[in-house]
Amino acid sequence: MSLIQAALGRIPVDLLLTNVRLANVITGEIYPADIAIYQGKIAAVEPPHSQPLRPAVQVLDGQGMLAVPGLIDAHLHIESTLVTPAHFAAGVLPRGTTTVAEDPHEVANVLGAEGIRAMLAASADLPLKVEYLISSSVPSAVGLETSGGEIGPAEVEALRALPHVIGLAEVMDGAALLAEDPRLLGILAAMGGGNGLRGPDSPGVIEGHNPMLRGRALAAFVAAGVDSDHTLATPEDLVEKARQGVTLMLQERYLSAEAIAALMSLPMDCGVCLVTDDVAPDYLLQYGHLDRVLRRAIELGMAPMHALRAATWNPARRLRLWDRGAITPGRAADLVLTPSLESFEAHRVFVNGQLVAEEGRCLWQPPTQDPLLAYTHTVHLPAQQPQDFEIAAPVAEGEVRVRVMECVPGTTLVRAGEAVLPVHGGRLQLPPDGDLAYLAVVERHGRHGGRAFGIVRGLGLSRGAVATTYAHDSHNLAVMGCSPVEMAAAANAVIETQGGIAVVAGERLLARMPLPIAGILSAAPVEQAAREVAAVGQALRSLGLDHPYWLMRISTFTLPVSSGLRITDLGLVDARERRLVDLFL
């Protein structure tokens, strides 16, 4: 076996990396080392200048930098970056991410199992290693929304044996699991879950999405085999979940000094993973990817080596990716050279021993052909008229009491509220000073073309409208605005490009980002996507909508498995009670 011969120094290795300080994520040590790489794998890690001198085709001076394993993102949605897997790879490789665990439930909600297969095909042969988890919640809430595709037990059975499928993605419908919904239990059973944790022969991991779950309900989730979580949690929640064997996945927006202090106080490393979940393209280019989360965790008090483990070793073990996560013999030569952990910047990035990025620049070019380009006509809607966005009231004149979706400032949370609104000519009106906006959701997958209406308080829009087909999770057309005329204009701007995000004020189109692939992805490079999404954000701020996560803000009103009052194409949804409710009280 030639790798053995290379390890023994009997044949030349392809690359000998010298003058580096190895960050050993298994022992927690940092020490000088030479790293020998042969046919894409680590052949040996040994003290510098070991005798006899090792033969090598190429010797590279590491300039005293830290050699760390390539970063592994254990939970994300590539679609949140609004680009294809190839362009996503070109964006994250220069930042040190070499493996991602992708949940394609955005594409699956539009295209079903066919969409997952298309994503797998689009990820083949990329230098970024993209592993897939089969989307478990498509649609996110059966009977409460209309999606373009569905993933059930049969689809999971068919998909799970495909290359690079490593498990089941986040189980989002907690109420259905606790009620032992047959469809969801069938999905879990198809991946070896539903009745205890999976054994050594099970098909893969099962990930969770269970915010604020505690006590017996938490025990039920874990007993069903759903044993990870990446959602908002208090320090007390985190400790309880860790004690129950849940793999904690921490994304940047939920990081806090208090949460990290609670985890660092535990006697053992409980296998925490740092993840990104959702990263917009402009944020990616300005701040980074998983490297940003790693830096932020260290800033907030996580020990640097713990943070590195949480972005390498822990996710590799969680996802059963035994061939990566550490720089040791036999593992894939996925590694990053960086000056320090605290200021983590990827100086050089190697995947399978090949240099793929250097000094922030990707050395690989995405292909011009992409399997996803076959799905550019998925918005099945005619041109919209202003009257399509007028809300008929139960009275001709006077006032009515309505349910209102209340935005929690600085978050993407929504509370249920009420308001008394005027009615004129049988149509609901907005008062001039109530910080209220109309919200409409229009089914766009060609199923029935129906629509539902709601009222939002605290969105910040003082004028104009915004429309988007990127609207979690069913990705119907969501339109928010201050007048039916502007809402129709924004909707038509999106329909014209077969999907996207558009901002309108009066008769002017202020900004538009076309998303023609499945109505949720751009065909452009990440740099262009970043410019376009930044322009949309700027346009929204000019209209009063100023939110640190504006894309998540406007795209999650339509997520019925989240908290509070939500809206889908079928109507307003009481997320806690899992039922449709009327707009009028």
Q: Which residues contact 38 (CB under 8 A, 6 or more apart)?
A: 2, 3, 6, 7, 11, 13, 14, 353
Return the structure tokens found at 150. Answer: 């569905």
Return d(Cα 2, Cα 43) in angstroms, integer: 10
Q: What is the pTM of this model?
A: 0.95
Two structure tokens written together for 243: 């004690």
- Any idea which residue has 């999976």 for tokens? 198
The model's confidence at residue 173, banded by pLDDT at 50, 70 and 90, is: confident
Type of residue numbered 114: E
Which two tokens mark 359? 């000094």
At residue 75, the pLDDT reads 98
CA 175, CA 180: separation in Å to the nearest integer? 9
Arithmetic mean of pLDDT, 235-245: 94
- 51, burial (CB in 10 Å: exposed 0-12, middle 13-18, buried 19+): exposed
- 191 pLDDT band, cuts 50/70/90, is confident
What is the Cα 139 distance to its own chain's centre? 16
Question: What's the pLDDT at 47?
Answer: 96
> Above 70 in pLDDT, residue 152?
yes
State in Å, rounded, how far the first CA of the chain is from the last one: 75
Tell me, rounded to whole angstroms, the distance of Cα 210 from its chain centroid.
15
pLDDT at 194: 67
User: ∠ CA(585), CA(577), CA(564), 5° rounding?
Assistant: 70
Closest CA to 37 of 317, 308, 328, 346: 328
User: Contact at 8 Å (CB) between 490 and 467?
Assistant: yes
With beta carbons less than 8 A apart as the criterion, state whether 68 and 28 touch. Answer: no
**pLDDT-derived band at 507, boundaries 50, 70, 90:** confident
| pLDDT for the residue numbered 563 | 86
- pLDDT of 226 > 90? The answer is yes
Measure the CA–CA gap between 161 and 203, rounded to whole angstroms.
8
Task: Give the pLDDT band (50/70/90) at residue 97.
Answer: very high
Tokens 């199923």 sit on residue: 447
The identity of residue 343, as a single letter, is S
In degrees to the nearest 10, what's the CA dihedral of 298, 92, 556, 542? 90
pLDDT, tens digit (0-9, with 9 covering 90-100), for 322-358:
999 999 999 999 999 999 999 999 999 999 999 999 9
On whether the CB atoms of residues 575 and 562 are closer than 8 A, the answer is yes
pLDDT per position as a tens digit, 397-451? 999 999 999 999 988 889 999 999 999 999 999 998 879 999 999 999 999 999 9
Domains 2-64 and 70-322 share a fold: no
Spatial separation of the C-alpha atoms in residues 491 and 497, rounded to whole Å: 10
pLDDT at 565: 97
Q: What is the pLDDT of residue 199?
A: 65
Asked whether residue 559 carries a pLDDT value surpassing 80, the answer given is yes
| Burial class of residue 391 (count of CB atoms within 10 Å of its CB; 0-12, 13-18, 19+) | buried
Q: Is pLDDT at 198 greater than 80 in this prediction?
A: no
Q: List the CATH code of the domain at 2-64.
A: 2.30.40.10
Report d(CA 372, CA 368) in Å as an integer.
11
Query: Nearest Cα to 191, choosing from 182, 201, 204?
Result: 204
Whether 192 shows a pLDDT value over 90: the answer reads no
pLDDT value of residue 196: 61
H or E element at residue 478? strand 477-481
CATH class of the region 70-322: alpha beta
- Which position has the token pair 């969801």? 184
Question: If residue 335 lies in a helix (H) or strand (E), which one and from where to where?
Answer: strand 335-338
To the nearest whole number, what is the mean pLDDT of the chain? Answer: 95
- Three-state DSSP class for 332? strand
Place of tokens 């009977």: 143
Asked whether 34 and 335 are in contact (CB, 8 A), the reply is no
| pLDDT value at 39 more than 90 | yes
C-beta neighbour count of 521 within 10 angstroms: 33
> Which residue is listed with tokens 């044996």?
161
Closest Cα to residue 161, out of 134, 126, 200? 134
CB count in 10 Å sphere of residue 267: 5
> How far is residue 429 CA from its own chain's centroid?
37
Tens-place pLDDT, residues 201-218 = 777 899 998 887 899 999
Is the distance from CB of 337 to CB of 20 less than 8 angstroms? yes
| Confidence category of residue 6, pLDDT binned at 50, 70, 90 | very high
In angstroms, the CA 565 to CA 385 distance is 27
According to DSSP, the residues that pair with 467 across neighbouring strands are 479, 502
Q: Which residue has the higher pLDDT, 109 or 189?
A: 109
Q: What is the 3-state secondary structure (H, E, C) of 261-327?
A: HHHHCCCCCCCCEECCECCCHHHHHHHCCHHHHHHHHHHCCCCHHHHHHHCCHHHHHHCCCCCCCCC
Q: Select the more confidently predicted residue: 434 or 564.
A: 564
3-state secondary structure (DSSP) of residue 106: helix
**What ranges do the domains of the chain cover?**
2-64, 70-322, 386-581
